Chain A
């Protein structure tokens, strides 16, 4: 594979060319600052190459099969195409707000009236960019730089819609906020999620993405920004369950302020290929983050995660645990970094990645890393990768479990450590069920 063939193939996509961008600007009703921001990102997009496979972040990625010409940005609502995309995180949950998007455009919004009266905002990012222009302008793409890579630039220029959640100072949103994104076959989701919690605010957000069928092919190029001011508490759950023919590119960022707490749970079972760049920045003293990841892959799925826990201020804690189970010929890559800036003394950073392979053909790359520029810190990391232990299977079989029941139980046990951290029952149940659905019969 050479860089030029990849560049040629992706570039030849006129569906994401100048005409498409002009048409998008024409169709949209954006505030001036936003149009300017889009144009600026578009310039960057045109000046950048697609990621170089020799780049450390992309050298374990394979995007040769991505044919952008097969996709085109969505400017008009066409919700039929994604009908039947399952919703999994709502079972038994009493929500305070619920929104749905289809192919990157929001089609329904609802929010508890009491919360709305207290200044809480939940809904379409496009609408909020008009209705709450100053607020959105302040935060949108403040954590994601369009220069990061060409996908970030494309998304900053052409994002179609997405969600904005704003919780004012000292407001506690007790019941979860549910956000759903559906993407149909051959469709595109260029959405953005922007969450802002003011000082002392609290919220639980359940975000999930899905497709009508398991083999749906789509293209998602998205962004997530979680902005937390002092003493705020956020639980953010993201279940990625796109059809297994889909491409998923995402830049996901969190900024955690003074004594604020973030619990971010990522679960990935969908997509043909995913490249996620997830970063948590602890920007003021006392900030705490806990990042949990559950990945379950099959067939030829290939999921790549580049993660960063960035300690920018002293006395912050970051905890990170990703667990993957792989079957068939699937592959996961995790490259994680704890970075401690100068002056970020008394940092407590932890990262761990465990992988369980259910087949000989599966492959998990696990690359932990530390970059420490302070001298009074505690940073630890570890990773394990291995096959299911045959002795465990025999032990369970000697107690009456069939071989596949034994494997299913061992897999569930493997994830239990993360389930124990998730306090929301519907999320635990949905993840457990998603995993149980995936485990094959093993003879």
Chain B
């Protein structure tokens, strides 16, 4: 398989305030990319813009999955085209069981042309598959019967997102701070799970502040975002260096981007997703 996710000169605004100011990024199927950067630099915005959140207006540039222009598609169409995002704070859907939610999601993603009301994947077959994936991820089978993210701990939410990724087997996954709010053991487990599910089986864009999540997922590329742009790209060693020494060097090296970042932080604090 050879798929390419290509982001070209992407400008994104939220409520008419520019956040991304020309992002270029190419991810090939099977590659792991780390996206790092200080708060408010636009990392989550990039993820949400790729996933198709309606509040993130693309004012310039484009996002291509192979020869499909994703910017023309609704969020559900992007999902069915092979894009997945694991959210930093996934929302709860009370009254809807994980298993039912995932069955419907998996059916739509695997049969992109399915019309509303057509049959879902056979229950028995799906349950078996779900059970297998949950065992692989060392999850309690009871999880499938709980309501989507309802009353989940931080760790449970992140694991539910990884389980969803496993069931949907996307071509490209964006993992937005899948380590935030987790203790060291939980991060290690998440890191191992991502590697098990995603490594070499999709393109990964891992958004993180730390290098722990990258332990089992050494990136071929590390990108540093500041002020809505990718200001530097390196290998796995760049992620380590940023984790050990912080962003002072980056901030000094790119004063214009740093100024933009400070400006956005002041303005966009309530919108940071």
Contact = CB atoms under 8 A, between A and B. Distances in A.
Contact of B101 (A399, A402, A404): A399
Contact of A414 (B78, B95, B101, B116): B95
A223 to B, nearest CB: 34
B76 A397 contact: yes
Interface in A388-443: 389-392, 394-406, 409-410, 412-417
A409 B93 contact: yes
B168 A413 contact: no
Interface in B42-95: 51-54, 74-76, 78-80, 84-85, 87, 90-91, 93-95
A409 B101 contact: yes
B96 to A, nearest CB: 4
Nearest to A408: B116
B108 A398 contact: no
A12 B187 CA distance: 77
Contact of B91 (A389, A403, A405): A389
Contacts of B85: 398
Contacts of B147: 413, 416
A412 B147 CA distance: 12
Contacts of B106: 400
A403 B74 contact: yes
Nearest to A411: B95
B75 A398 contact: yes
Contacts of B84: 398
A413 B84 CA distance: 23
Nearest to B94: A413
A404 B116 contact: yes
B29 to A, nearest CB: 19
Interface size class of A (residues with CB under 8 A): 20 to 34
A410 B93 contact: yes
B242 interface: no
B95 A401 contact: no
Contacts of A413: 93-96, 147
Given A395-B87, A398-B79, A400-B79, A412 B95 contact: yes
Contact of A398 (B52, B93, B101): B52
A254 B68 CA distance: 62
Interface in B182-196: none
B105 interface: yes
Contacts, number: 81
B104 interface: yes
Nearest to A418: B95
B164 interface: yes
Given A401-B76, A403-B74, A396 B116 contact: no
A438 to B, nearest CB: 15
A245 B168 CA distance: 45
Given A402-B116, A404-B116, A394 B93 contact: no
B257 interface: no
Contacts of A401: 76, 104-105, 108
A398 B49 CA distance: 11
Interface in B94-113: 94-96, 101, 104-109
A416 B105 contact: no
Contact of B164 (A389, A399, A403): A399
A397 B52 contact: yes
A396 B98 CA distance: 12
Contacts of A414: 94-95
A394 B53 contact: yes
A396 B96 CA distance: 11
A416 B94 contact: yes
Contacts of A394: 53-54, 75
Given A397-B79, A400-B76, A404-B116, A415 B53 contact: no
B116 A412 contact: no
A356 to B, nearest CB: 11
Nearest to A436: B117
Nearest to B96: A413
Nearest to A420: B95
A415 B108 contact: no
A204 B78 CA distance: 49
Contacts of A404: 116
Nearest to A416: B95
A442 to B, nearest CB: 12
A401 B79 CA distance: 9
A416 to B, nearest CB: 3
12 contacts: A389-B91, A395-B90, A397-B76, A398-B76, A398-B84, A399-B101, A399-B105, A399-B109, A400-B106, A401-B104, A402-B108, A409-B101
Given A397-B75, A405-B108, A413-B95, 15 more contacts: A392-B93, A394-B53, A394-B54, A395-B91, A398-B78, A398-B85, A399-B164, A400-B104, A400-B105, A400-B106, A400-B107, A402-B108, A403-B74, A409-B104, A413-B147
